[in-house]
Chain A
């Protein structure tokens, strides 16, 4: 994989500060001139105060931490399921042509269906507690994980496979000891995309069918017409998304530490 040079401006602290100040400045300005009633357009510090208040007062049946915990629980289940199925399947499809021929048409037929469109079936089959949302997260995270494992396996230098077969290494061992390590960069890229889509699908699932979680929190904030709660919930959702990406980036660095760029 060749990467083209991306020229980037050196970020100067002064300009970043001005930009950040401009963002909050515009926010305050819009709130203060009163285009919309204050109830619908709270000021940044009010949202932050609400975010803090949510950590020790209950809303929609739980504190913010409890909602987050319940979301993360579902998320972990769905994401792990997507890895457990998507990763081996992708590698196997890259290795065995017949599996590729069988799975690809089915996969192509399903992947244009937006993950949230699975919500009604998910609720019907597994309920709205843990099982239903887990299926939605799976539907969001699975395609990129599968595709990237597949591409990684297809991209392996054929000489390695020839060497493995010459050395008499069996199919299973070829996959675990040759294909998998060689495909790791692509797999990690897939995990990162899948993690992001999975998190977004989780929010979607919780907006529509759930009784706890951050998505449920903001939808309850919406029915109470409490804009600060909605915005505070959005911040929490965004922050968790960032944390997930940072963790995966660290993992990527760790796993790829021996490779030359």
Chain B
């Protein structure tokens, strides 16, 4: 699915332009798809301008986006700060694993979205309940992949570190973290994805601000163009934060680039 080279870029552009033309043709030009079902390109643009300048559903577009970003950053950030060290600990220490793993085995099958009603019962419809469900959603992949990462460090490396007398903080910094970093980043990507899904669902159920709240409001107003604008921004936020994480990953593991084509 990776299309390299300029031909790849050109064909991608051609396809996207083609999709726009198809969209225009079936909605605006011919009316095969009724605007009550799917909006025209022009309508969508107008809705975008309307929400960006005048606001819609309690706020302007940037307020909604910033609020959603803030909640994801909080839930995801706390989950990573707690989850990665915990996963590393569980991967390294047999006692920690034995003690904590059963809790994970019991909680892991529950999809993060199923926590939303519980979070609402506990914390209401405010931001706190959203941060809680995002935390739950992001926490599990962070822990599990950090744990798997430690397990994938090859035994000779650990033995060498042991033989050289590397212990404590130096061991964590020089052996444990770098060795499990590829897997940790896999976990972070999954966590981030889960965070966005959960946030959108939580905001759809009830929120004053946020991308999900635009979706909810637009659904109630039967305003397809605004639904589409909100969906586009859900996708843009997800894509840009994923890209950011990818950049971070490249910088955190410069040795991977030297290995060449991956």
Contacts and interface: CB of A to CB of B under 8 A. Distances in A.
Nearest to B2: A104
Interface string A63-81: 0000000000000000000
Contacts of B106: 20, 23
A119 interface: yes
Contacts of A15: 94-95, 98-99
A12 B94 CA distance: 10
Interface residues of A, number: 67
B243 to A, nearest CB: 10
B154 A199 contact: no
A48 interface: no
Contacts of A147: 1
A4 B148 CA distance: 11
Interface string B166-208: 0000000000000000000000000000001100110011000
Dominant SS among interface residues on chain A: helix
B224 A230 contact: no
A101 B11 contact: yes
Nearest to B38: A121
A80 to B, nearest CB: 20
Given A23-B106, A112-B235, A18 B114 contact: no
A40 B120 CA distance: 11
A221 interface: yes
B37 A239 contact: no
Contacts of A4: 152, 154
Interface in B199-235: 200-201, 204-205, 211-212, 215-216, 218-219, 222, 224, 227, 230-232, 234-235
B165 interface: no
Contact of B109 (A112, A225, A238): A238
A222 B152 contact: no
B103 A208 contact: no
**What's the interface size class on B, roughly?**
35 or more
Given A124-B224, A227-B121, A114 B234 contact: yes
A199 B111 contact: yes
B3 A104 contact: yes
Interface in A49-105: 100-102, 104-105
Nearest to B96: A19
A114 B196 contact: yes
A19 B100 contact: yes
A4 B157 CA distance: 14
A237 B107 CA distance: 11
A3 B84 CA distance: 23
A110 B235 contact: yes
A117 B216 CA distance: 10
Given A8-B151, A101-B3, A120-B215, A200 B113 contact: yes
Contacts of B234: 112-114, 117
A199 to B, nearest CB: 6
Interface in A1-47: 4-9, 11-12, 15-16, 18-20, 22-23, 36, 40
B114 A234 contact: yes
Contacts, number: 176
B200 A114 contact: yes
A124 B222 CA distance: 8
Nearest to B196: A114
B115 A120 contact: no
B114 A222 contact: no
Contact of A117 (B112, B231, B239): B231
A133 interface: no
A100 B1 contact: yes
Contacts of B218: 120
B160 interface: no
A243 B236 CA distance: 35
Contacts of B99: 15, 18-19, 22
Interface centre among A4, A11, A225, A234 (most CB of B within 10 A): A234
Given A16-B98, A121-B224, 13 more contacts: A19-B100, A101-B11, A112-B235, A112-B238, A121-B231, A124-B222, A124-B227, A199-B111, A200-B197, A207-B117, A208-B205, A218-B114, A234-B110
30 contacts: A5-B155, A7-B151, A12-B98, A16-B102, A19-B101, A23-B102, A23-B103, A100-B1, A101-B3, A112-B235, A113-B234, A113-B235, A115-B197, A116-B200, A119-B215, A120-B216, A120-B219, A124-B219, A124-B227, A203-B111, A207-B116, A208-B201, A208-B205, A219-B205, A222-B118, A225-B121, A231-B118, A233-B114, A234-B110, A241-B109
